[in-house]
Structure 1
C-alpha cells in the first residue's frame, strides 16, 4: 500500500499534542479508498500509545537473523479499524517476528472508530517525536484525514491492486493458523514482566531458552518440557521493552513446533509478539496452510465464510458454522484460504479470528505458494503411480518416492526438502502432489478411491 498525502506528524496543538497518522490506499466497507479516515479522538494514555506504536515500528525496522536487508525492506505497519478497536501490525525484515498493537475502546476517547484496513506512515522524525510523549499531556489522535476518494468498482478490481512483498502476504497467511493452534501456558503480572525482559541474555540475542512459569515469573531450565515455553531467539522480544513498564500482565502461549506468543496487557491496549519456531525461520516459509489450500473447494468455503465476516473484531468459528451450514473442517479450510490473501487474523487473548481486508489481488494466493503451484504442475503432467506401500512421484531430476503409512497418517519423501525439514515446515511439493491426486480421486465418483 502506498500513496500518502503527506508524512505523519506529531505537533503541538491546544495545550497538548496532535498525532496524525497518514493513511495510504485502504479497503473499507465502501470499497477501495484513497487515504481513508478511521479515527479522530484522544488517547487515554498518550505514553502507552506512543511507546506501543514505536514497538510495532521497531519490529518492522529490525532483522533478527542475518538475512539480506535493504532500506526498502522497512515497511509501514498495517492498520485495521474494527469498529471497537484499532489494530496495527508489522513483520520483521527477516519475517520471523509478527507484532500487533490493539488499541482498545478503553484506551481511546472522544471519537468513533471506523472500519477498514490501510498502511500508516511511521517515519523517522515521527519516531523521534513519539519517544518524547509523556503521560500527562493531551494527545489528539487522527488515523487518516477527512477527505476521501473512493474508487469505482472497476478501478478497485483492476487498476488499484496493492503490491505487498511476498513475505508479508505469506506472513499474514501463516500466522493466524499458527496462533489458533497455540495453547495458553501461563500469565505473569506486575513487576515480574519487566524482570523477565531485563533478565534475558543481552550478549546472546539469538540464543534459544526454555522457560518455566513459577511463582515469581519465569525461570530458565535446561530442557524443554510440556510445562515450558520455547523462546527462540531472546533478542526477538526486545521491542516489548518499550511497553514493559506499562504492562499489568503478560500472557504466554506456546505451539508444539517451538513457536510462541507473548501478549502484554497494557492500559487500554494489548501488544502481541508472535515468534517463529527458530530465529532463522521466517513465517513466510512455514507452509502450515498448504494442505488446507490444496483441498478441493477451499476457495468456495472461503467465499461462504467471507460473506459473514463484516469487519468483525471477534469471529467465532462456532457462529460461522451455524450461519454458513459448513462443517468444522470446511470452516478451517475456508479461513485458511481467506488468510492466504490476508483477510483474517487471530487474536490470542480473544481466542478468535478477526477480519482484515488487505486490498490484494486474490490470484496471489497460488502465486505466493510456489510449492502448491509446483504440486499442481506435477499432477497435471501425470505419472504418479501407487505401489503397495508408497507412491512414486516423478520430478525433473529423477523419481522421488513418497511413502504413506495410512494407519499413522504420516508422510515421508526422499527429496532434499523433506530430508532437511522432516515436515516441520509443511509438506514438500511431492507430498502435496499425492495429496492433490488423492483428494481429486476421492471427490470424483468416476475416479475411484485412492
Structure 2
C-alpha cells in the first residue's frame, strides 16, 4: 500500500483573541471529503500550561530518532470520543509510542462529534506551545476542515504530510502489547522526580532493569525479582519535562519483557503514556506480536458487526464484552486483534479497556499490513511447499517448508514454543512473532 498524502487548508497555529489564546489544530481525516464533522471538539483547556507541556513532550517524541536511518513519521493523530481527546504519536524510528489523554476534567467545552484525524504539528505551533503561561486561557478546536486528498489534480498547494503503512502497523503492535501488560510498580510524586535523576548517562547499549532500592527507584544492568526490563533506557529522557510535574507513575510491562509502559498521572484529568519497545533497533511496526491471534480468519460479518458495536460504544472491556455476548476469550482476542490490525482499536492501561479510533473499516489491511501472514497463506497455495515430515510425542508436528533455494524445518505444537531453521527465526528466536514458515505449518496442520 503506498503512502497516503494529506494536505491541510492552513497550518496549525496558536493565535491571540480577545478571550485569550486560541489553539487551532489543522486536521485531515482518512475519509472522503464531506464525510464526518468538520469539528470534533471546541472549548477551553482548564490547565493550558500543563496540556502544553504534554503536547510539547509528544512533539519531542515525533522529532526523536533513535535509529539513524529511520524516516520521519511527522504528525501525531488525535481521537475524540467518549468525552476524551487522545493525542498519539510515534518516534521516527517507531520504537517509542506516546499518548496524551485529556479527560472531562481537563476540558471545558463541547464534543460536536466523535472522530480520528491526522494532526498538523508544525514547528511554529510547537514553539508557541512552549511559551504558554501558567494562567493563560487557551481555546482548543480540533477537527478544522481540511483540503481534500487530491495529489494529482493540482489543487494541493499547502504543506503535505505522508501517512506511512507503519503508522497503522505500529498502532496494532502497541495495542497488542498494552492489552497484555501487567502493573509492576507504582511510583509517588517524589519517586517520579527521582526517576529522571536515575536514568543512566549516555546511550544505553544493553538492557537495564528498573528496581526499587528501598524507597528510591534506580536502574540496574542485571534483573532481579520484581524488576522491570527497560530496553533503550535513555529513551526515557523524553519524559524529562513531565516526570517532575506528575502526581505519580504506574509502571507496566508484558509478562515476557518485550515492552514496557509508563503511565503518568498529571492531575486535572490529564494522563500521559509512554511505551517502549524491547530494544532501540526494534520498531513497533515490525513486531508481529498479533500474528498468532490473526492466524485464523473470522467471518466478515463478525468483524463488521463488532466494528459497528465498538464504534457506537467507543470504549469496552474485553472480558465484560465476552461475558455479555457469550463469546470465548479466544474469540474476543481474535476480534480485537483483527480490528486493531486495521488501526481501529487502542488500549487504555489505566482504565483496562479498549478505545475506538474512527478510521476506515478496511479488512484488506489485515493481510496488506502483515506480510508474514500474507506470505504464509501464499505458501499454502502451492501444493508441495509445505510438507508433513512426521508427528512426535506430546502433539508435536514436524514439517518442512520451501524457502529460497533451501528447505526449512519447522516444529510446532505441544508444550514447547514453535521453532524454525530460517534466518528470521534464528535471529529473533520468536521474540518478534512467528516467521512465515511457522505460520504456514500452523495453518496447514494445526
Note the alpha carbon deviations across 1:199-235, whole angstroms, 9 max, x for none.
3123235553111135534122342134011121122
Residue matched to 2:94: 95
Residue of 400, 411, 416 corresponding to 2:418: 411
Residue of 38, 63, 66 corresponding to 1:64: 66
Structure 2 gap segments, 5+ residues each: 150-160, 393-397
Residue matched to 1:350: 351
Structure 1 gap segments, 5+ residues each: 152-161, 440-450
Structure 1 residues 184 and 299: alpha-carbon distance in aligned structure 2, compared to 1, 3 A threshold: farther
**CA deviation after TM superposition for structure 1 residue 398, in Å:** 1.6
Say if 2:117 and 2:143, in contact at 8 Å, map to a contact too: no
Structure 1 residues 258 and 293: alpha-carbon distance in aligned structure 2, compared to 1, 3 A threshold: closer
Say if 2:42 and 2:110, in contact at 8 Å, map to a contact too: yes
SS of alignment partner, residue 311 of structure 2: coil
Residue matched to 1:32: 35
Say if 2:40 and 2:112, in contact at 8 Å, map to a contact too: yes
Residue matched to 2:133: 134
Structure 1 residues 226 and 352: alpha-carbon distance in aligned structure 2, compared to 1, 3 A threshold: farther
- Cα-Cα RMSD: 2.4
Say if 2:232 and 2:278, in contact at 8 Å, map to a contact too: no
**CA deviation after TM superposition for structure 1 residue 26, in Å:** 4.7
- Of 105-114 and 266-275, deviating more is 105-114
Residue matched to 2:152: none
SS of alignment partner, residue 362 of structure 1: coil
SS of alignment partner, residue 192 of structure 1: helix
Say if 1:17 and 1:137, in contact at 8 Å, map to a contact too: yes
How many aligned positions are there?
Answer: 422
**Structure 1 CA distance for aligned equivalents of residues 197 and 40 of structure 2:** 36
Residue of 426, 429, 438 corresponding to 1:431: 438
2:395 equivalent to 1:396: no
SS of alignment partner, residue 310 of structure 1: helix
- Of 360-369 and 17-26, deviating more is 360-369
- Of 394-403 and 422-431, deviating more is 394-403
**Structure 1 CA distance for aligned equivalents of residues 273 and 31 of structure 2:** 24
Residue matched to 1:213: 212
Residue matched to 1:257: 257
**CA deviation after TM superposition for structure 1 residue 15, in Å:** 5.2
SS of alignment partner, residue 144 of structure 1: strand
**Structure 1 CA distance for aligned equivalents of residues 109 and 270 of structure 2:** 16
Residue matched to 1:293: 294
SS of alignment partner, residue 415 of structure 2: coil
- Of 128-137 and 58-67, deviating more is 58-67
Residue matched to 1:11: 15
Note the alpha carbon deviations across 1:242-272, whole angstroms, 9 max, x for none.
2223200111001223310001111221100
> TM-score under structure 2 normalisation?
0.88
- Of 168-177 and 209-218, deviating more is 209-218
Residue matched to 1:330: 331
**Structure 1 CA distance for aligned equivalents of residues 232 and 246 of structure 2:** 22
